[in-house]
């Protein structure tokens, strides 16, 4: 794969994380005016409708549902995680909530050991411990806010969602995976949204639709990026999202992080950086390969 594609892939991921950060801003602006279940149902309904035409364009074999139980499980993880995310962003600063969300890859390590029997390297375990320590610094147990438990819930469900992706059939397309997962999230979220339904203003509806569109943009850009370059070469760009939400919190919500929060964020980000790729010796390019 040409190294020239890596900068473009990184740019796509940065733009995608910018969109995802704006989605968090939209949720923050809702300020609890709609129930979490209303938000989830409307967002997932829009996602399903947007993906539907792409799913229908596929050949019939690619549209087929494989591993229905797994898709149903992953759909409910979306419902739980999204609900926790709305509560966390509403009651915590954007920087604090997202710092905990970013613990999801760290949570995946112990879960992979328990559920998949994986044996990570000692250095990886040490970096994970550092990341968890960073989360504790951000949350500061002595000043623990009840909404932080919902942020941890989002991180846990996201980690499980990512781990279960390894069990998805290889012959099922990404479009079909997104479609079936979105579709299966509608029944439970719809019932809960109906039960907790409350009047919704045009402004709130527009914010929900904007949040959904921005998350879909992130998903699309992320797929494009990871199709163009190895994940180990570009995944560090995902950390730009934490920078964006911190800046947006300062700009629009006067959420100026203190030095402990900044230190904790740095401790969370450090283990997520693929340091090995930075220290590998790069082969010299011939004149032909430089063209």
Which pLDDT tens digit goes with each residue over 82-112?
Answer: 999 999 999 999 999 998 998 887 888 888 8
Q: What angle do CA 101, 242, 125 make, to 5 degrees?
A: 55
The pLDDT of residue 169 is above 50: yes
> Which of the two residues, 37 and 290, has the higher pLDDT score?
37
Which range among 68-77, 80-89, 138-147 shows the weakest confidence by mean pLDDT?
Answer: 138-147
The pLDDT of residue 17 is above 80: yes
| Phi-psi map region of 276: left, alpha, beta (phi>0 left; psi -120 to 50 alpha) | alpha
pLDDT at 286: 40
Instruction: Tell me the C-alpha to C-alpha distance, in Å, between residue 145 and each of 32, 37, 98, 132, 142.
Output: 17, 22, 15, 17, 9
Q: Which residues are within 8 A (CB) of 129 and not within 5 positions of it... i.e. 6 or more apart? A: none
Q: What's the gap between Cα 281 and its chain centre?
A: 32
pLDDT at 104: 83
Instruction: Tell me the C-alpha to C-alpha distance, in Å, between residue 187 and each of 31, 39, 216.
Output: 25, 14, 20
Which range among 43-57, 84-98, 221-235, 250-264 shows the weakest confidence by mean pLDDT?
Answer: 221-235
pLDDT (mean) for 253-274: 85
> Which of the two residues, 23 and 145, has the higher pLDDT score?
23
Query: 288 in helix, strand or coil?
Result: helix
The pLDDT of residue 276 is above 90: no
Residue 132 CA to residue 109 CA, distance in Å, equals 11
Q: What pLDDT digit, counting tens, does each position of 143-168 carry?
A: 678 999 999 999 999 889 888 887 88
The pLDDT of residue 291 is above 50: no
pLDDT at 283: 41
């Amino acid at each position: 794969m040409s190294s020239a594609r890596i900068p473009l892939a990184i740019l796509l991921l940065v733009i995608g994380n910018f969109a995802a950060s704006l989605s968090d801003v939209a949720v923050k602006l809702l300020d609890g005016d709609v129930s979490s279940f209303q938000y989830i149902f409307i967002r997932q309904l829009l996602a399903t409708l947007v993906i539907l035409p792409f799913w229908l364009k596929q050949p019939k074999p690619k549209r087929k549902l494989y591993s229905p139980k797994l898709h149903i499980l992953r759909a409910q993880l979306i419902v739980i995680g999204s609900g926790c995310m709305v509560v966390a962003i509403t009651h915590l600063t954007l920087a604090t909530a997202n710092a905990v969300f970013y613990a999801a890859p760290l949570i995946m390590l112990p879960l992979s050991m328990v559920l998949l029997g994986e044996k990570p390297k000692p250095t990886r375990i040490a970096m994970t411990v550092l990341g968890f320590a960073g989360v504790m610094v951000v949350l500061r147990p002595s000043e623990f806010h009840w909404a932080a438990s919902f942020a941890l819930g989002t991180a846990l469900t996201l980690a499980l969602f990512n781990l279960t992706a390894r069990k998805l059939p290889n012959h099922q397309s990404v479009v079909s995976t997104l479609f079936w997962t979105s579709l299966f999230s509608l029944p439970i979220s719809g019932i809960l949204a109906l039960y907790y339904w409350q009047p919704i203003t045009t402004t709130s509806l527009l914010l929900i639709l904007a949040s959904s569109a921005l998350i879909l943009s992130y998903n699309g850009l992320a797929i494009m990026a990871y199709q163009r370059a190895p994940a180990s070469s570009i995944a560090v760009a995902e950390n730009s999202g934490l920078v964006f939400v911190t800046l947006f919190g300062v700009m629009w919500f006067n959420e100026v992080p203190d030095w402990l929060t900044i230190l904790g964020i740095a401790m969370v980000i450090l283990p997520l950086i693929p340091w090995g790729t930075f220290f590998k010796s790069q082969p010299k390019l011939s004149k032909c390969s430089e063209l």
